[in-house]
Amino acid sequence: MDTLVSTEWLAAHMGASDIRILDATYHPNFPGEPPRDAAAECAAAHIAGAQFLDLASLRDTASNLPMMLPSADAFAARLGGLGVGDDTHIVIYDQAPHRTGSRAWWMCRVFGVTRVSILDGGLAKWQREGRPVRSGTEAKPEPTHLTVRFDPSVLRSLGQMRNLVTTGAEQIVDARSASRFSGVEADPRPDTAAGHIPGSVNLPYPQLFRPDGTFKTADELRAAFSQAGVRPDRPLALTCGSGITASTLAVAAHLIGQPAAVYDGSWSEWGSRPDTPKATTSA
C-alpha cells in the first residue's frame, strides 16, 4: 500500500468500491489565532464522498492533554461508523496548516490499520488543479467492522521518553518551529514551559514539503533529516507540541525507511510537568 497517492491517482480511483476518503482536518485554535471550524470547512468544500473524521473528538477525552490517543475500541467504532472495514483502502487528506492528515495516518498505524494512504498535497492541491469539490454533508455509509491491533512499537510514553533522555537509545526529533524549540518563543498553551527535551534535535515539519504542499522526494527527506543532525542508522522518537506535527515526521521517516515512534503527550505533557528536565538554546 502506497503511503502517498497523487491527486491524479485519486481522481482515477475514487469510484472504486474499496476506497473510503476521510477528511482529517483539525485546528488547535491556539490563543490569539483566528478560530477555524474544521467541520464547517469540510461541509463547505470536500472531495466527493469524503467523510469528516473529526480528529478533535477522536482522542482520550478523559486526559487533560490535548490529543492523546483514544482507546482501540473507540478508534474502531469511529472508523467503522464511517464505512471503513478490514478491506477498505483509506485515503486521508486535510486542509490544515499543521498537516493533520499525517496524524490520522499515524493513528491508523498505531492500531494496525495499514491499508491507508495520504493524498499528497491535500485538498489545496486538489482545488488548485481545478478538480471538483462538493458542499454539504455526505450521506453516511453503512457501518462496518474494523479489526484493530495495537502496535506499541510506533508509540512512546512519558516514561519511555525519560529513559531515552538518559540512555540516548533513540534519537529524539522535535517537529516544532526553531523559536519554539529554542525557548525564544513562549509555548501557546498556558502553564507550559518554553524549550525542548534535553538531547533532542529540531526538524521543523514545514521543511519536509515542496512549495506545492507535496512531500519532498526520499533523497530530499534524507537530506533534511541529516541537516537536522539525525543519523540514518538509529531509530527515532518524535515529538512536537501535542503529537500532531510529530506525526508528519513519522510519515517522512516511513517514506525513507527509518524506524520511528511518536511521543503522544509531546511538549504539552513534558513542558507542563515540574519534574521533567527542559533545555533552551539560542534560536
User: What residues act catalytically?
Assistant: 240
Decide: 49 and 138 in contact? Cβ < 8 Å. Answer: yes
Distances (CA, A) of 191 to 3, 243, 264, 275: 37, 18, 19, 14
How many other C-beta atoms are found inside a 10 Å radius of the C-beta of residue 177?
18
Decide: 245 and 34 in contact? Cβ < 8 Å. Answer: no
d(CA 2, CA 216): 15
d(CA 240, CA 246): 5
Distances (CA, A) of 103 to 48, 93, 141, 167: 22, 11, 23, 27
Strands 19-23 and 51-52: parallel
For 28, the enclosing helix (H) or strand (E) is: none
d(CA 123, CA 47): 8
Give me the sign of the Cα torsion angle 195, 262, 257, 124.
Answer: negative
Bridge partners, residue 92, by sequence: 22, 118
Decide: 218 and 255 in contact? Cβ < 8 Å. Answer: yes
Q: What's the first-to-final CA gap in the chain, in angstroms?
A: 39
